[in-house]
Amino acid sequence: MKRDLLTLDDLSVDEIEQILARAALRKKELRAGIPHPVLQGKTLGMIFKKPSSRTRVSFEVGMYQLGGYAVVLSHQDIRMGQRESVPDIGRLFSRYLHGIMVRTFAHEEAEELAQYATIPVINGLTDLTHPCQILAAIFTIQEQLGRYRGVKVAYVGDGNNVAHSWLKGASKLGIHLTIASPPQYQPRADIVKKALEVAEQSGSQIEIITDPRVAVKGADIIYTDVWASMGQEAELETRRQVFAPYQVNQDLLQAAKPETLVMHCLPAHRGEEITAEVIDGERSIVFEEAENRLHVQKAILEFLLRPEGFAA
């Protein structure tokens, strides 16, 4: 049975731990110059309806380093859903490829693609979630702090796709998460409700509040993201005003601990959601997180595209 990664609900805690461990191994091997072509002969199709730097480069280079090949298809190339239906793209690509990565707007489109494809479909970001990003974020936290369980993350800003994946990942893995967002930009109620239920099992404390200063108090990690996600550019002016009190700046850092680290999925807009002083400062680990997209992506590909999984 093929497996997909559409949201972090698709992975068990044990599988996430295996993926993180495999990412650490491949990172070490890469640094030591030890080749690991475990996906020789395998191909990945990558569909982009939105722009990308990190996701594209990390998956494409990741496939190369694993001995496979990635075909990148922009929306102009295939115009999925217009030139050809989503189910037909799913059926067609399953005849050529071993996996599909999709970045699109409606999450339902990624679900539909996965429904008709007989090969694994990986969500490279939808309007609803960004699971690969949060796996890389959690990997980075483990690397930096030696653990992720019990770590306190303060997410400050828009209750968007990244916030939704934080809710799913944190609640599953026993990470404490406080999200501070303006009242009208809080994460979706159904995702919060589910996270609260899952958190009961894992012991993570999940809170959705409005005050960023309260959120960062005692936090080990401050996490932020752009105020207007891809597709919301027309709302930027309104959002700039609403989100102004949510900027991650030196003043907000003062309300946290002296050792609190700052993360951002990137791309960043200096002077909006984060100041240059903070993102380019000594507490920022944003490029560590960005680099780790590569190592974690490779572990995801190995997990989904090798029929024998990590066993071999």
User: Is residue 52 a contact point for ligand CP (CB under 6 A)?
Assistant: yes
User: Is residue 118 a contact point for ligand CP (CB under 6 A)?
Assistant: no
Contact of 30 with 295, CB cutoff 8 Å = yes
Segment contacting ligand NVA (CB under 6 A): 155-163, 187-195, 252-260, 302-310?
A: 155-163
Between β-strands 43-48 and 69-74, what pairing exists: parallel, antiparallel or unpaired?
Answer: parallel
- The neighbour count for residue 247, using CB atoms within 10 Å, is 19
The helix/strand count (H/E) of the chain reads as 13, 9
Residue nearest to ligand CP (CB): 55
Angle at Cα 7 formed by Cα 55 and Cα 267, nearest 5°? 30
Query: Given the complex with ligand CP, which of 204 and 229 has the nearer CB atom?
Result: 229
Query: Given the complex with ligand NVA, which of 102 and 125 has the nearer CB atom?
Result: 125
User: Is residue 162 a contact point for ligand NVA (CB under 6 A)?
Assistant: yes
Contact of 136 with 296, CB cutoff 8 Å = yes
* Known catalytic residue at 142: no
User: Is residue 141 a contact point for ligand NVA (CB under 6 A)?
Assistant: no
- C-alpha closest to that of 216 among 277, 171, 173, 259: 259
* Known catalytic residue at 225: yes
Instruction: Measure the CA–CA gap between 103 and 84, rounded to whole angstroms.
Output: 17
Q: How far is the CB of 129 from ligand NVA (least distance, A)?
A: 10
User: Is residue 133 a contact point for ligand CP (CB under 6 A)?
Assistant: yes
Q: How far is the CB of 51 from ligand NVA (least distance, A)?
A: 9
The residue from 58, 140, 161, 284 that contacts ligand NVA (CB under 6 A) is 161
As given in the structure block, the two tokens for residue 195 are 């996270």
Query: Given the complex with ligand CP, which of 55 and 171 has the nearer CB atom?
Result: 55
Query: Given the complex with ligand CP, which of 94 and 166 has the nearer CB atom?
Result: 166
Instruction: Measure the CA–CA gap between 256 and 264, rounded to whole angstroms.
Output: 16
User: Is residue 297 a contact point for ligand CP (CB under 6 A)?
Assistant: no
Residue labelled with tokens 């930027």:
236
Instruction: Measure the CA–CA gap between 203 and 36, rounded to whole angstroms.
Output: 37
Segment contacting ligand NVA (CB under 6 A): 182-190, 226-234, 239-247, 287-295?
A: 226-234
- The neighbour count for residue 309, using CB atoms within 10 Å, is 14
H or E element, residue 181: none
Binding site for ligand NVA (CB under 6 A): 125, 160-162, 225-226, 229-230, 265
The residues carrying an active-site annotation are 103, 130, 133, 225, 265, 293
Binding site for ligand CP (CB under 6 A): 52-55, 125, 133, 265-267
